[in-house]
A and B are shown apart, each in its own frame.
Chain A
């Protein structure tokens, strides 16, 4: 593993997401005017133009839309290979996440996933994903070794 993890740039428009992961919530921006959900978040609603926004807490369930197995070159803070997926959430938005505890021969498009959270330190908790076919996984704050 190479040096420490890559930290996200966090701004006024995205802070709510990272505050959510810190307490075990996967938050999706919701327009308070038209109700449209949106990921990644931003200051305006592309559907109706409203600047008034809030969020919902996602169910944490999704399916694999696409995936890769990253083997080279090194990724800071990761032991390679890693499986990274593009995940369609049940709520209708899509996001990128690392899928853990899965063999590179096991991952496939359309497989159901469940979110979990990996606490890096006081400032950062990352959402991670597991195959939900292995049984229900309780959402826990997992400490990194």
Chain B
């Protein structure tokens, strides 16, 4: 086990409602989520001395601190690469509290990603940004490849060709997520399960991806409170100990378009996985459930392989018998995932991991000792192992 393992815990979780039109500012959403997360664990804004978020977030740490009435802040940091930042905001917080750089760090992410800037659209801003990411996008956007679904579809088609995977294999991920969301009153798709036939009948977005392979665009915010393991024991909730917190970037890495590697794929998640197992001293056999980032279904299959739950190309067989649904061998995304609950850039999945440790999930998995959470796929990314 590494020096970070078990030294910090997530003790508070908070969120706004998840919707298609929040009706308030992105800053207000984040402030509300932070207030809920602090109330959840019995701390106040006066206790907070650090904030972390995504580089993409439009609400700066100082703006959130002002609204919360925080006086002084000792630690603040941001992580790049879209949804790949999610678990890394917790890693930043864990490293800060484990080393005494800060005592109480709140990780937050809030946006009006449906009612304002929609990530599913073709983004001219991404194509014209004045930095190396903009230069990288010169090799795809002008050619017509510029939506997240399209960039994932390119990977999905090759995966199907290499391993004989089918659209139905992708669909089983959506069916599992929507089954879990159906039980979740906070999910956008509460009470709306789907069948594999529904998935197959949904319109094509970017072949081979159907509409129901794609997560929804959502408005909302999530916040997480991280303190040292020692302090966690004195707070209101059962701590979710951070057994491992890792980032990963692979060889010849790009943002959503790591297409120039021989085998393409998401080797960056393999980097995350190996580091999670090294830090925690655990392995896939020790994990009872997972929250695997599901903005698009094919990457859930590829993550199972990169994290070592099955061999390369074996994920379609691994999930065929309902393994990833509640009651299966490795239930995934028990909140409904981003396909079913909401797309809050992976932060809502971390909150669900905490609920599973606490035993308060709407789809509880029995006897969870350790679980894995991942962040955005197709980008430089991150992951966590949370332990009871």
Contact = CB atoms under 8 A, between A and B. Distances in A.
Interface string B149-160: 010011101100
Interface in A1-51: 5-11, 13-14, 39-40, 46
Interface in B188-241: 203-208
Interface in A48-103: 65-76, 78, 82, 84, 86, 93-98
Given A69-B206, A109-B157, A6 B260 contact: no
Contacts of B134: 9
A126 B150 contact: no
Given A5-B142, A9-B127, A96-B143, A66 B154 contact: yes
Interface in B139-179: 139-147, 150, 153-155, 157-158, 161
A78 B144 CA distance: 7
A67 to B, nearest CB: 6
Nearest to B153: A68
B58 interface: no
Interface stretch (B15-23, B37-45, B116-124): B116-124
A104 interface: yes
B96 to A, nearest CB: 34
B215 to A, nearest CB: 14
B145 A72 contact: no
A96 B207 contact: no
Contacts of B260: 39-40, 93-94
B144 A82 contact: yes
Contacts of A93: 260
B136 interface: yes
B279 interface: no
B259 A86 contact: yes
B139 A98 contact: no
A126 B143 contact: yes
A9 B143 contact: no
A79 B145 CA distance: 13
Interface residues of A, number: 38
Contacts of A65: 158
B17 to A, nearest CB: 26
A98 B144 contact: yes
A14 B158 CA distance: 28
Nearest to A46: B252
A84 B260 CA distance: 15
Nearest to A39: B260
B369 interface: no
A144 B102 CA distance: 59
Contacts of A9: 127-130, 134-135, 137-138
Nearest to A85: B154
Nearest to A78: B144
Contacts of B68: none
A103 to B, nearest CB: 12
Contacts of A78: 144
A75 to B, nearest CB: 5
B141 A6 contact: yes
A70 B145 contact: yes
B155 A66 contact: yes
Give the interface centre of A14, A73, A82, A104 by most chain B CB atoms within 10 Å.
A73
B151 to A, nearest CB: 9
Contact of B147 (A67, A73, A95): A73
Interface string B230-272: 0000000000000000000000100001011000100000000
Given A96-B145, A104-B207, A66 B138 contact: no
A124 B141 CA distance: 14
Contact of B146 (A6, A14, A94, A95): A6
Contacts of B144: 70, 75, 78, 82, 84, 98
A87 B150 CA distance: 16
A90 B129 CA distance: 32
A72 B154 contact: no
A19 to B, nearest CB: 14
A73 B121 contact: yes
B207 A71 contact: yes
A75 B122 contact: yes
B257 A96 contact: yes
Contacts of B203: 71-72
Interface of A: 5-11, 13-14, 39-40, 46, 65-76, 78, 82, 84, 86, 93-98, 104, 109, 124, 126
22 contacts: A6-B142, A7-B128, A8-B137, A10-B135, A14-B135, A40-B139, A65-B158, A66-B154, A66-B157, A67-B157, A68-B207, A70-B145, A70-B206, A71-B204, A73-B120, A75-B146, A93-B260, A96-B140, A97-B143, A104-B207, A109-B157, A124-B142
* Shortest 9 CB-CB contacts between residues of A and residues of B: A8-B138, A66-B158, A69-B207, A9-B134, A68-B153, A8-B142, A66-B157, A6-B141, A6-B142
